Structure 1
Amino acid sequence: MADEHRSDFAAKISSSGPHAARIWNYWMGGKDNFEADRAAGDAVAEVYPDIVTMAKQSRRFLIRAVRYLAAEAGVHQFLDIGTGLPTMQNTHEIAQGIRPDARIVYVDNDPLVLVHARALLKNTTPGGVTTYVDADYHEPELIISDAHNVLDFTKPIGVMFMGVLGYVEDFDVLLSIVRRVMDAVPSGSYLVLWDGSDTGDAVNEGSAKLAETGAVPYFLRRPEQLAECFAGLEPVEPGLVPIARWRPGADVDEAIDAYGAVARKP
Protein backbone atom coordinates (compact mmCIF):
# COMPACT_ATOMS: atom_id res chain seq x y z
CA MET A 1 0.00 0.00 0.00
CA ALA A 2 2.84 2.41 0.81
CA ASP A 3 4.46 1.80 -2.59
CA GLU A 4 1.10 2.33 -4.25
CA HIS A 5 0.67 5.62 -2.41
CA ARG A 6 4.14 6.81 -3.43
CA SER A 7 3.49 5.84 -7.05
CA ASP A 8 0.16 7.70 -7.07
CA PHE A 9 1.75 10.74 -5.45
CA ALA A 10 4.62 10.73 -7.98
CA ALA A 11 2.10 10.62 -10.81
CA LYS A 12 0.33 13.66 -9.42
CA ILE A 13 3.54 15.71 -9.45
CA SER A 14 4.81 14.42 -12.79
CA SER A 15 6.98 16.82 -14.77
CA SER A 16 5.62 15.60 -18.13
CA GLY A 17 2.91 18.26 -18.47
CA PRO A 18 2.58 21.96 -17.66
CA HIS A 19 1.59 22.71 -14.06
CA ALA A 20 -0.11 25.95 -13.01
CA ALA A 21 2.00 26.63 -9.91
CA ARG A 22 5.25 25.79 -11.70
CA ILE A 23 4.39 28.01 -14.70
CA TRP A 24 3.74 30.90 -12.34
CA ASN A 25 7.01 30.13 -10.55
CA TYR A 26 8.80 30.33 -13.91
CA TRP A 27 7.28 33.72 -14.75
CA MET A 28 8.38 34.98 -11.33
CA GLY A 29 11.96 33.94 -12.00
CA GLY A 30 11.90 30.89 -9.73
CA LYS A 31 13.66 27.57 -10.22
CA ASP A 32 10.90 25.13 -9.27
CA ASN A 33 9.76 24.36 -12.80
CA PHE A 34 10.36 21.92 -15.64
CA GLU A 35 10.66 22.04 -19.41
CA ALA A 36 6.92 21.61 -19.97
CA ASP A 37 6.21 24.54 -17.63
CA ARG A 38 8.75 26.78 -19.33
CA ALA A 39 7.40 25.89 -22.77
CA ALA A 40 3.87 26.79 -21.68
CA GLY A 41 5.07 29.96 -19.97
CA ASP A 42 7.00 31.04 -23.06
CA ALA A 43 3.99 30.35 -25.31
CA VAL A 44 1.86 32.70 -23.21
CA ALA A 45 4.60 35.33 -22.96
CA GLU A 46 5.01 35.32 -26.73
CA VAL A 47 1.49 36.70 -27.21
CA TYR A 48 1.27 38.51 -23.86
CA PRO A 49 4.77 39.65 -22.73
CA ASP A 50 3.29 41.54 -19.75
CA ILE A 51 2.57 38.23 -17.99
CA VAL A 52 6.09 38.28 -16.53
CA THR A 53 5.54 41.79 -15.19
CA MET A 54 2.17 40.72 -13.79
CA ALA A 55 3.73 37.78 -11.97
CA LYS A 56 6.37 39.95 -10.33
CA GLN A 57 3.94 42.74 -9.52
CA SER A 58 1.60 40.22 -7.90
CA ARG A 59 4.27 39.37 -5.34
CA ARG A 60 4.94 43.05 -4.69
CA PHE A 61 1.22 43.58 -4.12
CA LEU A 62 1.19 40.71 -1.62
CA ILE A 63 4.16 42.20 0.23
CA ARG A 64 2.57 45.66 0.44
CA ALA A 65 -0.83 44.29 1.49
CA VAL A 66 0.58 42.07 4.25
CA ARG A 67 2.78 44.89 5.50
CA TYR A 68 -0.23 47.18 5.64
CA LEU A 69 -2.31 44.65 7.57
CA ALA A 70 0.44 43.74 10.03
CA ALA A 71 1.92 47.21 10.58
CA GLU A 72 -1.02 49.58 10.14
CA ALA A 73 -4.21 47.57 10.62
CA GLY A 74 -2.89 45.53 13.56
CA VAL A 75 -3.71 42.14 12.04
CA HIS A 76 -1.61 39.25 13.30
CA GLN A 77 -3.54 36.32 11.81
CA PHE A 78 -3.56 35.39 8.11
CA LEU A 79 -5.46 32.78 6.10
CA ASP A 80 -3.69 32.51 2.73
CA ILE A 81 -5.93 30.40 0.48
CA GLY A 82 -4.41 28.95 -2.67
CA THR A 83 -0.83 29.48 -1.60
CA GLY A 84 1.03 28.26 -4.66
CA LEU A 85 4.73 27.43 -4.61
CA PRO A 86 6.72 29.21 -1.90
CA THR A 87 8.98 31.91 -3.33
CA MET A 88 10.78 34.89 -1.87
CA GLN A 89 9.10 36.93 0.84
CA ASN A 90 6.15 34.71 1.62
CA THR A 91 3.23 35.82 3.78
CA HIS A 92 4.62 34.41 7.04
CA GLU A 93 8.05 35.98 6.52
CA ILE A 94 6.58 39.42 5.96
CA ALA A 95 4.01 39.23 8.76
CA GLN A 96 6.34 37.71 11.36
CA GLY A 97 9.01 40.24 10.46
CA ILE A 98 6.60 42.94 11.67
CA ARG A 99 4.66 41.00 14.32
CA PRO A 100 6.72 38.15 15.77
CA ASP A 101 3.55 36.54 17.17
CA ALA A 102 1.82 36.37 13.78
CA ARG A 103 -0.08 33.19 12.95
CA ILE A 104 -0.34 32.10 9.32
CA VAL A 105 -2.39 29.27 7.85
CA TYR A 106 -1.59 28.43 4.23
CA VAL A 107 -4.18 26.50 2.24
CA ASP A 108 -3.61 24.41 -0.89
CA ASN A 109 -4.53 20.97 -2.14
CA ASP A 110 -1.86 20.62 -4.81
CA PRO A 111 0.52 17.79 -3.85
CA LEU A 112 3.52 19.59 -5.36
CA VAL A 113 2.76 22.75 -3.40
CA LEU A 114 2.35 20.76 -0.19
CA VAL A 115 5.75 19.07 -0.64
CA HIS A 116 7.36 22.50 -0.83
CA ALA A 117 5.23 23.83 2.00
CA ARG A 118 6.43 21.11 4.35
CA ALA A 119 10.03 21.97 3.52
CA LEU A 120 9.95 25.75 3.32
CA LEU A 121 7.02 27.24 5.21
CA LYS A 122 8.66 27.40 8.62
CA ASN A 123 8.31 29.91 11.43
CA THR A 124 10.71 32.81 11.32
CA THR A 125 10.12 33.71 15.00
CA PRO A 126 9.76 31.63 18.18
CA GLY A 127 6.39 33.23 19.02
CA GLY A 128 4.75 32.83 15.63
CA VAL A 129 2.89 29.92 14.08
CA THR A 130 3.12 28.85 10.45
CA THR A 131 1.17 25.87 9.18
CA TYR A 132 -0.73 24.64 6.15
CA VAL A 133 -4.06 22.99 5.45
CA ASP A 134 -4.52 20.41 2.71
CA ALA A 135 -7.86 21.56 1.31
CA ASP A 136 -9.56 22.79 -1.85
CA TYR A 137 -10.90 26.34 -1.89
CA HIS A 138 -14.19 24.89 -3.15
CA GLU A 139 -14.63 23.63 0.43
CA PRO A 140 -14.62 26.82 2.54
CA GLU A 141 -16.24 25.16 5.53
CA LEU A 142 -13.47 22.55 5.70
CA ILE A 143 -10.85 25.29 5.46
CA ILE A 144 -12.48 27.28 8.26
CA SER A 145 -12.85 24.18 10.43
CA ASP A 146 -9.15 23.32 10.11
CA ALA A 147 -8.05 26.94 10.51
CA HIS A 148 -9.84 27.03 13.88
CA ASN A 149 -7.03 24.80 15.18
CA VAL A 150 -4.54 27.65 14.77
CA LEU A 151 -6.39 30.94 14.37
CA ASP A 152 -8.52 32.74 16.96
CA PHE A 153 -11.82 33.50 15.23
CA THR A 154 -12.73 36.08 17.85
CA LYS A 155 -9.95 38.34 16.50
CA PRO A 156 -9.40 39.85 13.03
CA ILE A 157 -8.01 37.63 10.29
CA GLY A 158 -6.48 38.67 7.00
CA VAL A 159 -8.07 36.45 4.32
CA MET A 160 -6.03 36.23 1.11
CA PHE A 161 -6.94 35.01 -2.38
CA MET A 162 -3.90 35.95 -4.44
CA GLY A 163 -4.51 35.32 -8.13
CA VAL A 164 -6.00 31.86 -7.58
CA LEU A 165 -9.72 32.28 -8.21
CA GLY A 166 -9.19 32.71 -11.94
CA TYR A 167 -9.09 28.92 -12.03
CA VAL A 168 -12.77 28.89 -11.02
CA GLU A 169 -14.79 28.95 -14.25
CA ASP A 170 -18.18 29.90 -12.80
CA PHE A 171 -18.14 33.42 -11.36
CA ASP A 172 -21.08 32.71 -9.07
CA VAL A 173 -19.07 29.87 -7.54
CA LEU A 174 -16.15 32.25 -7.08
CA LEU A 175 -18.37 34.73 -5.25
CA SER A 176 -19.79 31.97 -3.08
CA ILE A 177 -16.29 30.86 -2.03
CA VAL A 178 -15.24 34.37 -1.04
CA ARG A 179 -18.46 35.18 0.78
CA ARG A 180 -18.55 31.93 2.74
CA VAL A 181 -15.04 32.52 4.03
CA MET A 182 -15.70 36.16 4.86
CA ASP A 183 -18.96 35.25 6.61
CA ALA A 184 -16.95 33.00 8.92
CA VAL A 185 -14.35 35.55 10.05
CA PRO A 186 -15.08 38.25 12.66
CA SER A 187 -15.65 41.97 12.29
CA GLY A 188 -12.38 43.81 11.73
CA SER A 189 -11.06 41.09 9.41
CA TYR A 190 -9.77 41.96 5.94
CA LEU A 191 -10.07 40.54 2.45
CA VAL A 192 -7.04 40.79 0.17
CA LEU A 193 -7.81 39.62 -3.35
CA TRP A 194 -6.45 40.07 -6.83
CA ASP A 195 -7.06 38.31 -10.13
CA GLY A 196 -6.29 38.68 -13.80
CA SER A 197 -8.59 41.11 -15.58
CA ASP A 198 -10.26 41.03 -18.97
CA THR A 199 -8.91 44.46 -19.88
CA GLY A 200 -7.11 44.00 -23.20
CA ASP A 201 -6.81 41.89 -26.34
CA ALA A 202 -3.30 40.68 -25.52
CA VAL A 203 -4.19 39.33 -22.08
CA ASN A 204 -7.15 37.48 -23.60
CA GLU A 205 -4.81 35.96 -26.19
CA GLY A 206 -2.50 34.93 -23.37
CA SER A 207 -5.35 33.23 -21.52
CA ALA A 208 -6.36 31.34 -24.67
CA LYS A 209 -2.76 30.31 -25.32
CA LEU A 210 -2.42 28.98 -21.76
CA ALA A 211 -5.40 26.69 -22.30
CA GLU A 212 -3.92 25.53 -25.63
CA THR A 213 -0.75 24.35 -23.88
CA GLY A 214 -2.72 21.85 -21.83
CA ALA A 215 -2.36 23.79 -18.59
CA VAL A 216 -5.36 24.43 -16.35
CA PRO A 217 -7.36 27.28 -17.97
CA TYR A 218 -7.41 30.67 -16.26
CA PHE A 219 -10.60 32.71 -16.55
CA LEU A 220 -10.16 36.48 -16.66
CA ARG A 221 -12.70 38.75 -14.94
CA ARG A 222 -13.91 42.24 -15.65
CA PRO A 223 -12.89 44.75 -12.94
CA GLU A 224 -16.54 45.32 -12.06
CA GLN A 225 -16.88 41.59 -11.41
CA LEU A 226 -13.90 41.61 -9.06
CA ALA A 227 -15.48 44.58 -7.29
CA GLU A 228 -18.41 42.31 -6.39
CA CYS A 229 -16.05 40.22 -4.24
CA PHE A 230 -15.74 43.23 -1.91
CA ALA A 231 -19.47 43.98 -1.62
CA GLY A 232 -20.38 44.93 1.94
CA LEU A 233 -16.75 45.54 2.92
CA GLU A 234 -14.97 48.84 3.57
CA PRO A 235 -12.28 49.40 0.93
CA VAL A 236 -8.84 50.57 1.97
CA GLU A 237 -7.63 53.42 -0.23
CA PRO A 238 -7.11 53.44 -3.18
CA GLY A 239 -9.75 50.71 -3.56
CA LEU A 240 -9.82 48.30 -6.49
CA VAL A 241 -7.02 49.24 -8.89
CA PRO A 242 -4.40 47.57 -11.09
CA ILE A 243 -2.17 45.78 -8.59
CA ALA A 244 0.93 47.81 -9.45
CA ARG A 245 -0.98 50.93 -8.38
CA TRP A 246 -2.07 49.74 -4.95
CA ARG A 247 -0.01 51.84 -2.50
CA PRO A 248 3.22 51.45 -4.48
CA GLY A 249 5.16 54.00 -2.45
CA ALA A 250 6.16 55.83 -5.62
CA ASP A 251 4.54 56.92 -8.87
CA VAL A 252 3.83 53.79 -10.90
CA ASP A 253 2.52 53.91 -14.43
CA GLU A 254 2.01 50.20 -15.05
CA ALA A 255 -1.64 49.45 -15.78
CA ILE A 256 -1.26 45.69 -15.30
CA ASP A 257 -4.15 43.49 -16.50
CA ALA A 258 -4.76 42.41 -12.93
CA TYR A 259 -6.88 44.19 -10.35
CA GLY A 260 -6.75 43.89 -6.59
CA ALA A 261 -7.86 45.52 -3.38
CA VAL A 262 -7.82 45.29 0.40
CA ALA A 263 -11.08 45.77 2.30
CA ARG A 264 -12.22 45.55 5.93
CA LYS A 265 -15.22 43.65 7.23
CA PRO A 266 -17.31 46.07 9.33
Structure 2
Amino acid sequence: TTITFNPWSAAHWLKKRFFDKKSPDVKAFSTNYLINEFLDETDRAVFERMRLTNPRKYEVAGLGNWGISEGLVYENWTVGKKQIPKGEEYKWKSFFGLDYGYTNDPTGFVGFMANPIDKEMYIYCEFCKKRMLNCDIAAKIKEMGFSKERIRADCAEPKSNDDLRRLGIGRITPSVKGRDSILNGISAINEYRITVNPDCTDMIRELSSYVYEDRAGENGVKNPKDSNNHLCDAMRYAFEDVKHFHPQKEDEDKEEKRAAISGSDLTGGWDI
Protein backbone atom coordinates (compact mmCIF):
# COMPACT_ATOMS: atom_id res chain seq x y z
CA THR A 1 0.00 0.00 0.00
CA THR A 2 1.27 3.47 -0.90
CA ILE A 3 0.07 6.66 0.82
CA THR A 4 1.06 10.07 -0.55
CA PHE A 5 0.05 13.43 0.90
CA ASN A 6 1.13 17.04 1.23
CA PRO A 7 2.72 18.04 4.55
CA TRP A 8 0.28 19.19 7.19
CA SER A 9 0.24 20.20 10.83
CA ALA A 10 2.76 18.45 13.05
CA ALA A 11 -0.24 17.49 15.21
CA HIS A 12 -1.77 15.42 12.37
CA TRP A 13 -2.30 11.72 13.12
CA LEU A 14 -0.28 10.68 10.04
CA LYS A 15 2.90 12.06 11.59
CA LYS A 16 2.32 10.26 14.87
CA ARG A 17 1.34 7.00 13.17
CA PHE A 18 3.98 6.70 10.45
CA PHE A 19 6.83 9.15 11.14
CA ASP A 20 7.28 9.44 14.91
CA LYS A 21 7.21 5.70 15.54
CA LYS A 22 9.55 3.74 13.31
CA SER A 23 8.32 0.36 12.06
CA PRO A 24 10.17 -2.28 10.03
CA ASP A 25 7.01 -2.71 7.94
CA VAL A 26 6.74 0.97 6.98
CA LYS A 27 9.04 3.17 4.91
CA ALA A 28 8.14 6.82 5.56
CA PHE A 29 10.00 9.65 3.85
CA SER A 30 9.57 13.16 2.47
CA THR A 31 10.39 14.55 -0.95
CA ASN A 32 10.46 18.13 -2.23
CA TYR A 33 10.97 20.23 -5.32
CA LEU A 34 14.76 19.92 -5.14
CA ILE A 35 14.59 16.36 -6.48
CA ASN A 36 11.60 16.79 -8.79
CA GLU A 37 12.98 16.10 -12.26
CA PHE A 38 9.84 17.40 -13.96
CA LEU A 39 10.28 21.02 -12.82
CA ASP A 40 11.88 23.53 -15.15
CA GLU A 41 13.85 26.65 -14.22
CA THR A 42 10.68 28.76 -14.11
CA ASP A 43 9.16 26.42 -11.51
CA ARG A 44 12.33 26.46 -9.44
CA ALA A 45 12.41 30.25 -9.56
CA VAL A 46 8.96 30.28 -7.92
CA PHE A 47 10.32 28.37 -4.93
CA GLU A 48 13.43 30.52 -4.76
CA ARG A 49 11.28 33.66 -4.51
CA MET A 50 9.21 31.92 -1.86
CA ARG A 51 12.38 31.16 0.11
CA LEU A 52 13.28 34.84 0.18
CA THR A 53 9.84 36.41 0.66
CA ASN A 54 7.93 33.83 2.74
CA PRO A 55 10.34 31.55 4.64
CA ARG A 56 7.61 29.85 6.70
CA LYS A 57 5.65 28.87 3.60
CA TYR A 58 8.88 27.74 1.92
CA GLU A 59 9.65 25.38 4.80
CA VAL A 60 6.35 23.57 4.19
CA ALA A 61 5.45 24.01 0.52
CA GLY A 62 9.05 24.09 -0.67
CA LEU A 63 11.03 21.73 1.55
CA GLY A 64 8.15 19.47 2.54
CA ASN A 65 8.54 19.93 6.29
CA TRP A 66 5.61 19.52 8.66
CA GLY A 67 3.45 22.59 9.12
CA ILE A 68 0.70 24.70 7.60
CA SER A 69 1.84 26.88 4.74
CA GLU A 70 -1.10 29.30 4.56
CA GLY A 71 -3.91 30.56 6.74
CA LEU A 72 -2.19 30.50 10.13
CA VAL A 73 -3.59 33.04 12.58
CA TYR A 74 -0.15 33.71 14.09
CA GLU A 75 2.91 33.49 11.83
CA ASN A 76 5.54 35.72 13.46
CA TRP A 77 6.76 33.28 16.11
CA THR A 78 9.74 31.04 16.80
CA VAL A 79 10.71 28.46 19.42
CA GLY A 80 13.60 29.27 21.74
CA LYS A 81 14.72 30.53 25.13
CA LYS A 82 14.79 34.27 25.64
CA GLN A 83 17.54 36.08 27.49
CA ILE A 84 16.87 39.70 28.40
CA PRO A 85 19.89 41.98 27.97
CA LYS A 86 21.12 43.64 31.15
CA GLY A 87 19.58 47.06 31.57
CA GLU A 88 16.46 46.24 29.54
CA GLU A 89 14.50 44.50 32.29
CA TYR A 90 12.27 47.55 32.71
CA LYS A 91 10.84 47.00 29.22
CA TRP A 92 9.28 43.66 30.18
CA LYS A 93 6.33 42.63 32.32
CA SER A 94 4.49 39.35 32.95
CA PHE A 95 0.89 38.75 31.92
CA PHE A 96 -1.33 35.72 32.53
CA GLY A 97 -4.48 34.36 30.91
CA LEU A 98 -6.93 31.52 31.56
CA ASP A 99 -9.46 29.83 29.27
CA TYR A 100 -11.89 27.37 30.85
CA GLY A 101 -12.70 23.92 29.53
CA TYR A 102 -13.71 20.57 30.92
CA THR A 103 -14.93 17.52 28.98
CA ASN A 104 -14.42 18.23 25.28
CA ASP A 105 -12.06 21.20 25.55
CA PRO A 106 -9.06 21.58 27.86
CA THR A 107 -8.54 24.33 30.37
CA GLY A 108 -5.65 26.47 29.17
CA PHE A 109 -3.39 28.75 31.24
CA VAL A 110 -0.52 30.75 29.78
CA GLY A 111 2.09 33.17 31.10
CA PHE A 112 4.18 35.46 28.95
CA MET A 113 6.38 38.52 29.13
CA ALA A 114 5.62 41.46 26.84
CA ASN A 115 7.87 44.29 25.74
CA PRO A 116 5.71 47.00 24.09
CA ILE A 117 8.74 49.17 23.25
CA ASP A 118 10.37 46.63 20.93
CA LYS A 119 7.13 44.72 20.21
CA GLU A 120 8.34 41.39 21.57
CA MET A 121 6.69 38.61 23.56
CA TYR A 122 8.13 35.60 25.35
CA ILE A 123 5.73 32.77 26.26
CA TYR A 124 7.39 30.90 29.10
CA CYS A 125 4.81 28.81 30.98
CA GLU A 126 1.56 26.97 30.36
CA PHE A 127 -0.76 24.18 31.36
CA CYS A 128 -3.43 22.63 29.16
CA LYS A 129 -5.57 19.77 30.47
CA LYS A 130 -9.10 18.38 30.25
CA ARG A 131 -11.45 17.58 33.15
CA MET A 132 -9.93 20.09 35.57
CA LEU A 133 -12.24 21.18 38.37
CA ASN A 134 -11.89 24.73 39.64
CA CYS A 135 -10.09 23.43 42.72
CA ASP A 136 -7.60 21.67 40.41
CA ILE A 137 -7.05 24.89 38.45
CA ALA A 138 -6.45 26.87 41.63
CA ALA A 139 -4.04 24.25 42.97
CA LYS A 140 -2.06 24.23 39.72
CA ILE A 141 -1.78 28.03 39.61
CA LYS A 142 -0.58 28.02 43.23
CA GLU A 143 1.93 25.27 42.44
CA MET A 144 3.34 27.39 39.61
CA GLY A 145 3.71 30.36 41.96
CA PHE A 146 1.23 32.70 40.27
CA SER A 147 -1.64 32.85 42.79
CA LYS A 148 -0.98 36.54 43.56
CA GLU A 149 -0.76 37.62 39.92
CA ARG A 150 -3.45 39.36 37.91
CA ILE A 151 -4.98 36.70 35.63
CA ARG A 152 -7.38 37.53 32.79
CA ALA A 153 -9.97 34.75 32.52
CA ASP A 154 -12.92 34.04 30.24
CA CYS A 155 -15.75 36.41 31.17
CA ALA A 156 -18.31 33.80 30.05
CA GLU A 157 -17.55 31.83 33.26
CA PRO A 158 -18.39 34.23 36.14
CA LYS A 159 -19.13 31.35 38.52
CA SER A 160 -15.72 29.79 37.86
CA ASN A 161 -14.04 33.16 38.32
CA ASP A 162 -15.78 33.57 41.69
CA ASP A 163 -14.78 30.04 42.68
CA LEU A 164 -11.11 30.72 41.94
CA ARG A 165 -11.20 33.91 44.03
CA ARG A 166 -12.69 31.91 46.90
CA LEU A 167 -9.94 29.33 46.43
CA GLY A 168 -7.18 31.90 46.82
CA ILE A 169 -6.61 33.17 43.27
CA GLY A 170 -7.69 36.64 44.30
CA ARG A 171 -6.77 38.70 41.23
CA ILE A 172 -8.82 36.83 38.64
CA THR A 173 -10.18 39.48 36.25
CA PRO A 174 -12.81 38.77 33.56
CA SER A 175 -11.82 39.33 29.96
CA VAL A 176 -13.51 42.01 27.88
CA LYS A 177 -15.57 40.70 24.99
CA GLY A 178 -17.45 42.68 22.40
CA ARG A 179 -17.88 43.24 18.71
CA ASP A 180 -14.77 42.10 16.82
CA SER A 181 -12.88 41.54 20.09
CA ILE A 182 -11.34 38.31 18.77
CA LEU A 183 -10.09 39.82 15.51
CA ASN A 184 -8.91 43.00 17.25
CA GLY A 185 -7.02 40.99 19.85
CA ILE A 186 -5.38 38.83 17.21
CA SER A 187 -4.41 41.92 15.23
CA ALA A 188 -2.76 43.48 18.29
CA ILE A 189 -0.76 40.33 19.09
CA ASN A 190 0.35 40.03 15.47
CA GLU A 191 2.24 43.30 15.84
CA TYR A 192 4.67 41.45 18.15
CA ARG A 193 7.51 39.01 17.50
CA ILE A 194 6.74 35.96 19.63
CA THR A 195 9.27 33.55 21.12
CA VAL A 196 7.93 30.36 22.71
CA ASN A 197 9.89 28.42 25.30
CA PRO A 198 10.44 24.86 24.00
CA ASP A 199 8.85 23.49 27.18
CA CYS A 200 5.52 25.03 26.12
CA THR A 201 4.68 22.16 23.79
CA ASP A 202 0.91 22.68 23.81
CA MET A 203 1.27 26.34 22.82
CA ILE A 204 3.65 25.35 20.03
CA ARG A 205 1.09 22.82 18.82
CA GLU A 206 -1.70 25.41 18.84
CA LEU A 207 0.32 28.11 17.10
CA SER A 208 1.19 25.55 14.43
CA SER A 209 -2.44 24.63 13.74
CA TYR A 210 -4.66 27.62 14.66
CA VAL A 211 -5.99 28.75 11.27
CA TYR A 212 -8.61 30.96 9.64
CA GLU A 213 -11.79 29.61 8.08
CA ASP A 214 -11.50 28.82 4.38
CA ARG A 215 -14.34 31.17 3.49
CA ALA A 216 -15.13 34.69 4.62
CA GLY A 217 -18.18 35.35 6.78
CA GLU A 218 -21.14 37.59 6.00
CA ASN A 219 -19.03 40.66 6.71
CA GLY A 220 -16.46 39.58 4.11
CA VAL A 221 -13.82 38.83 6.76
CA LYS A 222 -12.31 35.44 7.49
CA ASN A 223 -12.67 34.42 11.12
CA PRO A 224 -10.39 31.99 12.94
CA LYS A 225 -11.67 28.45 13.37
CA ASP A 226 -12.86 27.67 16.87
CA SER A 227 -10.39 24.83 17.38
CA ASN A 228 -6.76 24.48 18.47
CA ASN A 229 -7.15 27.80 20.26
CA HIS A 230 -7.50 27.26 24.01
CA LEU A 231 -4.08 28.59 24.97
CA CYS A 232 -4.31 31.13 22.15
CA ASP A 233 -7.56 32.42 23.67
CA ALA A 234 -5.92 32.62 27.10
CA MET A 235 -3.03 34.56 25.55
CA ARG A 236 -5.48 36.95 23.91
CA TYR A 237 -7.29 37.58 27.21
CA ALA A 238 -3.99 38.33 28.96
CA PHE A 239 -2.92 40.63 26.14
CA GLU A 240 -5.79 42.99 27.02
CA ASP A 241 -3.61 44.29 29.86
CA VAL A 242 -0.52 44.92 27.74
CA LYS A 243 -1.96 48.20 26.46
CA HIS A 244 -1.90 49.51 30.04
CA PHE A 245 1.83 48.80 30.46
CA HIS A 246 3.96 51.84 29.60
CA PRO A 247 7.55 51.03 30.62
CA GLN A 248 9.82 53.90 31.59
CA LYS A 249 13.47 53.61 32.49
CA GLU A 250 14.09 54.60 36.07
CA ASP A 251 17.30 55.91 37.59
CA GLU A 252 19.74 53.27 38.85
CA ASP A 253 18.84 53.66 42.54
CA LYS A 254 15.17 53.07 41.87
CA GLU A 255 15.91 50.21 39.49
CA GLU A 256 17.89 48.46 42.21
CA LYS A 257 14.95 48.76 44.59
CA ARG A 258 12.21 47.74 42.16
CA ALA A 259 12.86 46.16 38.79
CA ALA A 260 10.09 45.44 36.31
CA ILE A 261 11.08 41.76 36.50
CA SER A 262 11.35 40.08 39.87
CA GLY A 263 12.54 36.62 40.75
CA SER A 264 8.97 35.31 40.91
CA ASP A 265 8.45 36.40 37.30
CA LEU A 266 11.07 33.95 36.16
CA THR A 267 9.24 30.87 37.41
CA GLY A 268 8.19 28.58 34.60
CA GLY A 269 11.03 28.19 32.16
CA TRP A 270 13.06 31.38 31.91
CA ASP A 271 16.67 30.73 30.97
CA ILE A 272 18.36 33.73 32.56
Q: For the superposition of Structure 1 and Structure 2, which TM-score range results when normalised by the shorter chain?
A: under 0.3
Instruction: Please give the TM-score of this superposition, normalised by the length of structure 1.
Output: 0.28
Structure having the larger proportion of residues in helix: 1
TM-score by length of structure 2 reads: 0.27
